């Protein structure tokens, strides 16, 4: 009995450690809607889908954060943990709007490392897929290939029933880089898909469909700058 109890204790300890960051974080939460404000940004656990498993977000700052997630190997997006900065500036008044990121992510599961950029509140959604792993795909229909904002993309356009969605799928995966958000928005405007909209918020995070067994997604750095 003692040996069995000791073995069970070791298993519990190992499982507990696997769900936590390697370092002691300034903040963490396993709540579906856990949030933390830091440096003008908001960190959000955001487990919004159905059929989800456990997920813990941790952060040392808005720029250095990550999640451990163990979502089952089933279809449908389970979560989009992210760091968000509010901008609330009209496109025509923006001199610049850029962002940079650096991540360490698993090579298994099904997910994207993606920007989710919102314009005119939640009227328009612009997704920039910087990498994608597993059976995931964008909403809507293919429109064109384009090089804009510092990257080459396949562009899709559609609606989720609540808002227009423009998805830019990078031609190859990358775990670090910079993006010219203003240039991308001006390109969309030039196509006539929206007008002189307001850039409301810029989010960056992980759109996770599955991460069975528990996987770590780490944001080594992330920032948004505008003028």
Cβ atoms within 10 Å of 179's Cβ, excluding its own? 25
Output the pLDDT for position 198: 98
User: Which numeric CATH code is attached to 23-226?
Assistant: 2.60.120.180
Domain ranges of the chain: 23-226
Closest CA to 117 of 196, 205, 221, 220: 205
Question: In angstroms, what CA-CA distances link 3 with 8, 9, 12, 64, 134?
Answer: 9, 10, 14, 41, 41
Q: Contact at 8 Å (CB) between 55 and 69?
A: yes
Strand ranges (DSSP E) for 107-212? Answer: 110-119, 124-133, 141-148, 151-159, 164-170, 176-180, 198-210
pTM here?
0.90
Closest CA to 114 of 37, 162, 177, 157: 177
Residue-wise pLDDT for 20-78, tens only, equals 454 589 999 999 999 999 999 999 999 999 999 999 999 999 999 999 999 999 999 99
Cβ atoms within 10 Å of 138's Cβ, excluding its own? 21
Output the pLDDT for position 23: 55
Q: Contact at 8 Å (CB) between 42 and 83?
A: yes
Query: Beta strands 141-148 and 97-104: pairing type?
Result: unpaired
Output the pLDDT for position 116: 98
Output the pLDDT for position 24: 82
Closest CA to 80 of 120, 119, 40, 136: 136
Output the pLDDT for position 9: 40
Average pLDDT per consecutive 10 residues, the chain (227 residues; last block may be shorter): 42 42 82 98 98 98 98 97 98 98 98 98 98 96 98 97 96 98 98 98 98 98 98
Closest CA to 57 of 205, 209, 226, 225: 205
């Amino acid at each position: 009995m003692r040996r069995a109890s000791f073995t069970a204790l070791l298993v519990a300890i190992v499982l507990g450690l696997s769900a936590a960051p390697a370092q002691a974080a300034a903040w963490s939460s396993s709540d579906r809607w856990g949030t933390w404000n830091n440096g003008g940004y908001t960190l959000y656990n955001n487990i919004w889908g159905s059929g989800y498993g456990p997920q813990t977000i941790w952060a040392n700052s808005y720029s250095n954060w990550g999640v451990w997630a163990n979502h089952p190997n089933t279809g449908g997006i389970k979560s989009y943990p992210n760091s968000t900065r509010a901008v609330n500036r009209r496109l025509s008044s923006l001199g610049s709007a850029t962002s940079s990121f650096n991540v360490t992510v698993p090579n298994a599961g099904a997910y994207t490392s993606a920007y989710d950029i919102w314009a005119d509140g939640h009227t328009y959604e612009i997704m920039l897929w910087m990498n994608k792993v597993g059976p995931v795909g964008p909403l809507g229909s293919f429109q064109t290939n384009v090089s804009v904002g510092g990257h080459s993309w396949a562009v899709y356009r559609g609606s989720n029933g609540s808002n227009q969605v423009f998805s830019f799928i990078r031609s190859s995966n990358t775990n670090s880089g910079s993006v010219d958000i203003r240039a991308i928005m001006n390109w969309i405007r030039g196509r006539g898909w929206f007008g002189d909209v307001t850039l409301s918020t810029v989010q960056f995070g992980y759109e996770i469909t599955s991460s069975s067994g528990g996987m770590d997604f780490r944001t080594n750095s992330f920032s948004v700058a505008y003028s």
